[in-house]
Chains A and B, each alone.
Chain A
Amino acid sequence: MNADVNTNLTIQSPSENILELQNLKVYFALKKFGFQHAGYVHAVDGVDLNLKSGQTIAIVGESGSGKTSLMRTVLHLNIPTEGTVTFDGQIVNNLKSEQLKSYRHRVGYVQQDPYGAMPPFMNVQTILEEPLKINGIKDKEERYRRVTQVLEEVKMTPAEEFMPKFPHQLSGGQQQRVVIARAMILEPVLLVADEPVSMLDASVRVEILKLLRGLQQKHNLAVIYITHDLATVRYFSEYIYVMYAGQIVEKARESDLINKTAHPYTHALLAATSDPDPKNVDEFQDVPPGEPPSLVNPPSGCRFHPRCPRRIAGLCEVKTPPEFNLGNDHLVACWLFKE
């Protein structure tokens, strides 16, 4: 860790949580014709999340669930509307320049589209040097050394061979390695990975996930792994948050989520995730009808109620369910578990 970076962030209260989201709400104003506004998109609507140092968690949800906005808020690309984001004991909702720079230094971002995540007109060396240059590493040799080191960490060796290449000259897997290298080059403590393998071929996915897992173990990184593919979550996360329509509907340890699934939405997700099994061809999958709701006018009460096969009339559409604790850190927001 560079000593010069830490001076701006003073640790106010010691905590084992590297990241804490409390009642986080992110609303976007919908503007019509640039002047009047026509409501809000409730992208993130009351999310609590804890992430310990060195822990890997997954946020599972489909498009329209708000997971992207959540992630962008953690990366400080969005400002929360309400609630707090606490990083290493300090509230980081509204950071300005210097402090923001040190925050960004400590949070790495791996994106979904490996080709789009890189400027097509820069070669690998330039791409990797950019974060260093921006954060004040002026010495050319120092930069070269760090670029070589990080390329070796992501197993792109010999590094000198890859440095002059341009993104379009690399395979999908190689491109993603460069993106990971870029996220790691500032030696972060938290890594946010947004669907890092969904655009890669099947045979490469596992390679990259294993790489990420190796890096996480070696550097004791905290990782937030965002995905809609439940099958990969098993290999890479200890604790899983399931998100629907801007809210967390279930959170549990990995084995509990798969084996003791609680929320009907999670059930649906699991049922819809196929394993390669020849029996599938003769069976119809059980899928809840309809589509994820609009986040501008979400349904009242439990947001899943219009599609839920087990909704309780008179309750689910009226009152929003609180979180019920099923033990072993397994919480679910569903009236079915009212004890």
Chain B
Amino acid sequence: MKNIKNILREIARYPSAIFGAAIIFLLIALAIFAVTKIPYEEAIRLWRAGEETVYRNPKNVPPQWFNFFTKKDLPISFAVVAGEDEEFSKVVTQGETGSTIEYQYSFDFQYDDYPQELFLYIQADYQIKNPFISVVLETPDGEQIKVTDFGTAKKQTYRFSQDDKLITRLRRIHGRDIQVMQGLFSVPKSEPLQINKGVYTLKILASTFEKDSDVRIEFVSHGLVFGLFGTDHLRRDLTTAILWGAPIALFFGLVAAAGTSILSMLIAAIGAWFGGWLDELIQRITEVNLVLPFLSILIMVGTFYSRSIWVILGVTIVLSIFTGAIKTDRAIFLQVKESTYIEAAQAYGASNPRIIVKYLVPRIIPLLIPGLVSAVPSYVFLEASLALLGLGDPTLPTWGKVINDAYANGALYRGQFYWILEPAILLMITGLGFAMFGFALDRIFNPKLRGM
């Protein structure tokens, strides 16, 4: 125990160690947050991008804080449900044979660009007679633009931009052909088109013809920015992938690094201790394995067998055990094997397994730990690289997968930098954190490097 306290004190002496440790700590916190806030099944569901999950999200928009960096203030996306969100009021006037429901939603439009699309998602409750809805948008100047009216079905989606009648009406207001979004939010007959900034009010009147009839309305705006991390081509909120990328990267990195290091060490110890044909065999296997093309084999496995992350993780570990680490560990074990205390242990009757585990292995742990920590980034990047090459697990929201999607959909070409930068920066920070911490650990455990 005292040993650990000493080690922690040593760690505190190196700024790079503290910095690296802070990053790792943050990543772990992020991972825990991700797993608790969005449980696994939920994450998979979100990532599958079913319509009911993503209907509120616009396609391919950057995150909301992007507005800090642009001169133009881009319209945010929002979704409000009448009666549930307080700004969207719902007043029901109940009658004998039905009811009249007035819906009203005001919003302050101060942006410098138009939203992508506006939607009304309507769910009506009725037996035979369907309710009737009429929608009006009041502009800041007081103009009432009639949007639409229709008898609604049990489930209906009204998409503003696709309403021909609305298009015609707006053409008349503006005196020329104009798109719906621009038409709704511009100063009439302005040349060039000027945005009409101010408070807009959406007024909806629903008439129901049955006593227990009810209409639920959701007003959705697909702005030009969304959420914390933006959206991708399938309108998935990237928050899912950014958050969940952390636990997956950490899991893969740590399990692969730890599994490989520990197994390598044990095999090296056994080979070094017993010597003879066993040692020779292990060395030859290692040498052959070093020549095998690692990535190519992984690609083959991914293409022909399975892309499940467990399979990839397993194959990675198996191929990584018999590598350079075995040779260096063995060299150290061969040296330690000659120590006097090992001879003493044999003299008081220690068995071979006991000597290997209790007397040899502890000598290499100071080397193992920094090596392990420093190896984590390589495995994290490996997983990301495989995903980038299209071999990642397609159902898992990982950072690599996001980059893969971005690349496949020409993100850089289209200027959607956020899509690539968010996962890339997180990958780099992960690598940086573990590398700095690992390097500092190396200096602590191996004092000879302290001068550097």
Q: Which of B171-179, B348-356, B374-382 contacts A (4 or more CB under 8 A)?
A: B348-356
Q: Are A117 and B344 in contact (CB under 8 A)?
A: yes
Residue in A34, A111, A113, A135 whose beta carbon sits within 8 Å of that of B349 in the complex: A135
Q: How far is the CA of A34 from the CA of B349 in the complex (A)?
A: 29
Q: How large is the interface on B (under 10, 10 to 19, 20 to 34, 35 or more residues)?
A: 10 to 19
Q: Are A111 and B359 in contact (CB under 8 A)?
A: no
Which A residues from 104 to 147 make CB contacts under 8 A with B?
104-105, 107, 109, 111-113, 116-121, 130-131, 134-135
B357-369 to A contact mask, C-beta < 8 Å, 1/0? 0110011000000
Contacts of A105 in B (CB 8 A): 349
Contacts of A77 in B (CB 8 A): 343, 346-347
Q: Say yes or no for A177: interface residue by CB 8 A criterion.
A: no
Q: Say yes or no for A182: interface residue by CB 8 A criterion.
A: yes
Q: How far is the CA of A148 from the CA of B345 in the complex (A)?
A: 20
Q: Are A121 and B348 in contact (CB under 8 A)?
A: no
State how many angstroms separate the Cβ of B334 from the closest Cβ of chain A: 15
Residue in B280, B354, B363 whose beta carbon sits within 8 Å of that of A134 in the complex: B354
Q: Say yes or no for A101: interface residue by CB 8 A criterion.
A: yes
Given A119-B362, A121-B362, the answer on whether A111 and B344 have CB atoms closer than 8 Å is yes
Q: Are A121 and B363 in contact (CB under 8 A)?
A: yes
Contacts of B354 in A (CB 8 A): 134
Contacts of B409 in A (CB 8 A): none
Residue in B339, B340, B348 whose beta carbon sits within 8 Å of that of A104 in the complex: B348
Residue in A107, A109, A116, A131 whose beta carbon sits within 8 Å of that of B339 in the complex: A116
Q: How far is the CA of A135 from the CA of B344 in the complex (A)?
A: 14
Q: How far is the CA of A250 from the CA of B210 in the complex (A)?
A: 124
A267-305 to B contact mask, C-beta < 8 Å, 1/0? 000000000000000000000000000000000000000
Q: Are A116 and B348 in contact (CB under 8 A)?
A: no
Q: How far is the CA of A131 from the CA of B344 in the complex (A)?
A: 10
Contacts of B363 in A (CB 8 A): 120-121
**Chain A facing B: main interface SS:** loop
Q: How far is the CA of A112 from the CA of B343 in the complex (A)?
A: 12
Residue in A34, A109, A186 whose beta carbon sits within 8 Å of that of B344 in the complex: A109
State how many angstroms separate the Cβ of A121 from the closest Cβ of chain B: 5
Q: Say yes or no for B150: interface residue by CB 8 A criterion.
A: no
Contacts of A112 in B (CB 8 A): 340
Q: Are A131 and B348 in contact (CB under 8 A)?
A: yes
Contacts of B358 in A (CB 8 A): 130
Number of A residues whose C-beta is below 8 Å from B?
25
Residue in A75, A116, A130, A182 whose beta carbon sits within 8 Å of that of B350 in the complex: A130
Residue in B280, B345, B349 whose beta carbon sits within 8 Å of that of A100 in the complex: B349
Contacts of A75 in B (CB 8 A): 347
Residue in A104, A117, A186 whose beta carbon sits within 8 Å of that of B341 in the complex: A117
Contacts of A116 in B (CB 8 A): 339-341
Q: How far is the CA of A75 from the CA of B354 in the complex (A)?
A: 19
Considering only CB atoms, which chain B residue lies closest to A109 in the complex? B347
Contacts of B346 in A (CB 8 A): 77
Considering only CB atoms, which chain B residue lies closest to A104 in the complex? B349
State how many angstroms separate the Cβ of A19 from the closest Cβ of chain B: 15
Q: How far is the CA of A75 from the CA of B349 in the complex (A)?
A: 10
Q: Which of B280, B349, B362 has the most CB of A within 10 A?
A: B349
Given A119-B359, A119-B362, A121-B363, the answer on whether A111 and B343 have CB atoms closer than 8 Å is yes
Q: Are A134 and B349 in contact (CB under 8 A)?
A: yes
Contacts of A121 in B (CB 8 A): 362-363
Q: How far is the CA of A327 from the CA of B280 in the complex (A)?
A: 56
Which A residues from 169 to 188 make CB contacts under 8 A with B?
179, 182, 186
Contacts of B348 in A (CB 8 A): 104, 109, 130-131, 134-135, 182, 186
Q: Which of B339, B348, B349 has the most CB of A within 10 A?
A: B348
Q: How far is the CA of A179 from the CA of B340 in the complex (A)?
A: 11
Given A118-B341, A119-B341, A119-B362, the answer on whether A101 and B349 have CB atoms closer than 8 Å is yes
State how many angstroms separate the Cβ of A226 from the closest Cβ of chain B: 14
Considering only CB atoms, which chain B residue lies closest to A185 in the complex? B348
Considering only CB atoms, which chain B residue lies closest to A72 in the complex? B343
Q: Are A104 and B347 in contact (CB under 8 A)?
A: yes
Q: How far is the CA of A116 from the CA of B345 in the complex (A)?
A: 12
Contacts of A104 in B (CB 8 A): 347-349
Considering only CB atoms, which chain A residue lies closest to B276 in the complex? A34
Q: How far is the CA of A113 from the CA of B362 in the complex (A)?
A: 20
Q: How far is the CA of A116 from the CA of B359 in the complex (A)?
A: 12
Q: Are B344 and A182 in contact (CB under 8 A)?
A: yes
Q: How far is the CA of A116 from the CA of B339 in the complex (A)?
A: 7
Considering only CB atoms, which chain A residue lies closest to B280 in the complex? A34
Q: How far is the CA of A121 from the CA of B363 in the complex (A)?
A: 8
Considering only CB atoms, which chain A residue lies closest to B2 in the complex? A164
Contacts of A100 in B (CB 8 A): 349
Residue in A111, A118, A134, A186 whose beta carbon sits within 8 Å of that of B351 in the complex: A134
State how many angstroms separate the Cβ of B343 from the closest Cβ of chain A: 7
Q: How far is the CA of A159 from the CA of B341 in the complex (A)?
A: 22
Contacts of B280 in A (CB 8 A): 34
Q: How far is the CA of A101 from the CA of B354 in the complex (A)?
A: 15
State how many angstroms separate the Cβ of A68 from the closest Cβ of chain B: 11
Q: Which 7 interchain pairs have the tightest Cβ spacing?
A: A116-B340, A131-B348, A104-B349, A109-B347, A121-B362, A117-B340, A119-B341
Interface of A toward B, CB cutoff 8 Å: 34, 75, 77, 100-101, 104-105, 107, 109, 111-113, 116-121, 130-131, 134-135, 179, 182, 186
Q: Please name 13 pairs of A and B residues whose Cβ atoms are closer than 8 Å in the assembled complex, sorted by A.
A: A75-B347, A109-B344, A111-B344, A116-B340, A117-B341, A118-B344, A119-B359, A120-B363, A130-B348, A134-B350, A134-B351, A135-B348, A182-B344
Given contacts A117-B341, A135-B349, 4 further A-B contacts (CB under 8 A): A104-B347, A116-B340, A119-B362, A134-B354
